[in-house]
Amino acid sequence: MLNRAVIAALSVMMLVACAQMGGTAGQSAIAVKDAWARPVTVDMGDKPMSMGGNPESGHGMHGGVMKPMSAAYMLIENSGSAADRLIGATGDVAETFEVHLTREQNGMMVMEKLKDGVEVPARGTLVLKPASYHIMLIGVKRDLKVGDKFRLTLKFQSGKEVPVDVTVREP
């Protein structure tokens, strides 16, 4: 037979359990896998610049000035029950970080800056990959050679900031 003390204790335990569930419901839970970025040479010397190929690689015009650029790719997993948005990144490897989408327009590959970022669905994965979503590194400050590592901090709409170690490799 249950006495009042036991019933009270059970009630408290159930309340705590509910509060804990409530605390995690409606939140994103972010984990990042397989982060990598394209190599880039910052000091071009007198070597000619290649203007062709994939717009995510190498050197390009940004704000009318030729700046060394790279792009970072990764899998962003959200095991939480609420969607979130990747809105940007910070780090010391470049001057500016932007969330971009590469897509085809009139037979040309063009990059679009996503001012509102990109959604990471609840219990889903956002894939950043070449010719699709990526984080553009604009004004890269040092050579990024294959095998180098650097740190980015991803920023999400929820306020979460997620540090990521990125390895430089060829696409």
Q: Which is nearer to Cu ion, 10 or 109 (CB)?
A: 109
Instruction: Let me know: does 111 contact 99? Beta carbons within 8 Å.
Output: no
x/- track of binding to Cu ion for residues 57-96 (CB under 5 A): ----------------------------------------
Give just the sign of the alpha carbon dihedral 112, 115, 120, 122. negative
In whole angstroms, give the CA distance from residue 63 to residue 60. Answer: 10
Using the rule CB under 5 A, is 155 a contact of Cu ion?
A: no
Q: Which is nearer to Cu ion, 40 or 136 (CB)?
A: 136
Of 99-138, binders to Cu ion (CB under 5 A) are 100, 111, 136
Alpha helices in the chain (DSSP H): 4-24
Look up residue 54 and give its DSSP letter.
-
Instruction: Let me know: does 29 contact 79? Beta carbons within 8 Å.
Output: yes
Q: Which is nearer to Cu ion, 62 or 160 (CB)?
A: 62
For the CB of residue 100, give the shortest distance to Cu ion in the complex, in Å. 3
Residues that bind Cu ion (CB under 5 A): 100, 111, 136
